[in-house]
Chains A and B, each alone.
Chain A
Amino acid sequence: MSLLTTSVGSFPKPPYLTKARTQHSKGELPDEALRALEERATKEWIQFQEDLGIDILVDGEQYRGDMATYFAENLGGCEVSGLVRSYGNRYYKKPLVVGELERRGPITVDWWRWAQGLTKRPLKGMLTGPYTMMDWSFNEHYASREDLALAFAKVLHQEARDLERAGARVIQIDEPALSARSDELELVVKALGVVTRGLTAQTITHTCYGNYDAVYPYFNRLPIDQLDLEMSNSGLALLDRFRREPLKKEIAFGVIDVHSHLVETEEVVRDRIERALEIFPPEKLYIDPDCGLKTRTVEEAEAKLRVMVAATRAVKKERGLR
């Protein structure tokens, strides 16, 4: 198998779900009614990915708000802050750690099991990594950043083990904050190691929009099987570095800019894949968007994924790859 297609994690929520979430947050919609709509949206996205022929699926995170806050809402010792800005006109709420972190029970497992039941193709288990959880939280309890990162790692390891027991063959641990502080890269490796220790599932770490130059020497040290990288937003700038210092892991290569309304042409995406193939063997190269697509409209996200799959098929056909 070569050039397997996949997605990073989130998909946009359809307008009916966005509206329902707003109503739910005001107390105007009961939990079960919201859950029904989240399930409907998840089914639609899984059906869309199957119809398109994507190889490794995601559930689209229709039941999650922010990727860090979702875990904060489900952990003891965590609260959720007021709104802070991410960029432009986008805002989110952050985890606020006020006590010892405690996993009261599985957080993502039920959703994963239910969504995996909708498809025969592998569905990724999705976790937000311990370093990112720490870096994106306000910390009012732990004495140091390291203490907090390792506390998150401990509960995320429990979650990963439960996902694996439920049958997940692929577990992604997102670390978008990986390059936040170059003097803490050892901590990233250590905390991720706590999460992935003893797992037999394929493990992936996604990261994006950072100073990869500083991080690069650590890529091969990350205790995971596959690195999932945003590449298109940065103009494939890392390719030269990959040429000089080969990556020893699989790579999922972002060929779709998720922050642009513009839908790439098939030609542009084919060119990106061809350039990736100059460096990576096709069996170790996965094709996906730069990042989660949740900031796009449903129509934009669907159009972008269609182009991604069409371009991948065209390249495979031209090269005679299976």
Chain B
Amino acid sequence: MVPTTVVGSYPRIGDAPEEQRLRRAIARFEEEKITEAELRDVERSVVKEVIEDQVGAGIELPTDGEVTWYDSQSHFSRHLEGVEVAGLVRYFDTNTYYRQPVVRGPIRWRGPALVDEWRYAASVAPDGVKAVVTGPYTLASLSKADGRPKREVVREFAAAVAQEVRALREAGATRIQVDEPAITRAHDEIGLLKEGVETIASEKGSSWLCLFTFFGDAAGILRDLTSLPIDNLGLDLVQGDATWKDLQRTGSPIPLTLGLVDARNTKRDDPRALAKAALALKGKAPLEESFVSPSNGLEFLPRERAREKLRLVCETAKLLEAGL
């Protein structure tokens, strides 16, 4: 069976009043009407709900939906020494914003940032969850570090992410994904990304490590990416549809996560067309061991559309399996 997964984020609220309890809880917490412990309880109930959505749709390797993340950059950065979290900046072309990390001094890992969240998610997922960490190249690219050479900043973030990966592994995480969307916007900096991934991979032990690139293509750097010390490469094949040609030409020696279903638009994808496109890679990439997924995190869609996209991922995987 061709396995299915998601990229990471998932809509944390829906349109039904009951699905908006996290929104209400955060507002009440900010007004000091509920305690932090009460807010955490609501967060956890939503994490459980989000995992149930994924598993119910047939996703085999879910995530916690990044339900507790303020955003993809500050959630991890705010735990680091030498980094402050500052003003809002637009997050790529998503019409969402992140709080920009500002590097004030040497970056040091102070302790686990994601382990407790992973542990809870793993306890409510029948077959485990994938831990997701923002990658050092993207952290460095989207941070402000006036005057510091980027290579140095990537190295310091990489050391911190590597320690987080080790902490996750030691806590029992066997599937870990590192997100590096920024590389799709700067292929010429593949050397920096490579250095960061190598540092992280040195701490992965026997855990399965996936590198996911999204919000654009990996054309021209595919060979570099597939030769990294990783177990799986995730590709956005919608916004990054220029990668298809490269995939056809060079193939991949390692399993892939095929980001086939459009996670940025509500339009219903055609699973047959997606499966057919993926089948064209038969013999060029180990498709039996590859995953099917949305093209990026699903939080940019309304929840009911995100649910539909989960079903489309599973339908596409079945059709791909049949074709294999």
Contacts and interface: CB of A to CB of B under 8 A. Distances in A.
Contacts of A216: none
Given A87-B71, A96-B266, A138-B266, A180 B88 contact: no
B301 A211 contact: no
Contacts of B30: 89
Nearest to B265: A138
A82 B14 contact: yes
B66 to A, nearest CB: 11
B12 interface: yes
Nearest to B30: A89
A87 B302 contact: no
A233 B96 CA distance: 16
Given A83-B13, A138-B266, A177-B95, A91 B23 contact: yes
A234 B89 CA distance: 9
A210 B96 CA distance: 11
A179 interface: yes
Interface in A279-316: none
Interface string A86-110: 1111010000100000000000000
Given A81-B302, A210-B90, A87 B265 contact: no
Contacts of A85: 11-13, 96, 299
Contact of B265 (A83, A139, A210, A234): A139
B97 interface: yes
Interface in B285-324: 299-305
A81 B306 CA distance: 12
Nearest to A182: B185
A295 to B, nearest CB: 10
Interface in B244-294: 265-267
A89 B71 CA distance: 11
Nearest to A177: B95
A234 B86 CA distance: 9
B95 A180 contact: yes
Contacts of A140: 265-267
B301 A179 contact: no
A136 interface: yes
Contact of B15 (A82, A96, A209, A211): A82
Contacts of B90: 179-180, 209-211
Interface residues of B, number: 32
Chain A contact surface mostly: loop
A259 interface: yes
A84 B13 CA distance: 8
B302 A82 contact: yes
A44 to B, nearest CB: 24
Contacts of A159: none
A91 B70 contact: no
Interface string B48-75: 0000000000000000000000110000
Contact of A87 (B93, B97, B267): B97
Given A82-B15, A82-B304, A259-B88, A88 B267 contact: no
Contacts of A135: 93, 95
B96 A87 contact: yes
Interface of A: 81-89, 91, 96, 135-136, 138-140, 177, 179-181, 209-211, 233-235, 257, 259
18 contacts: A82-B303, A82-B305, A83-B11, A83-B13, A83-B14, A84-B11, A84-B299, A88-B70, A89-B27, A91-B13, A136-B95, A138-B267, A177-B95, A180-B90, A180-B95, A209-B97, A210-B90, A233-B87
Interface of B: 11-15, 20, 23, 26-27, 30, 70-71, 87-90, 92-93, 95-98, 265-267, 299-305
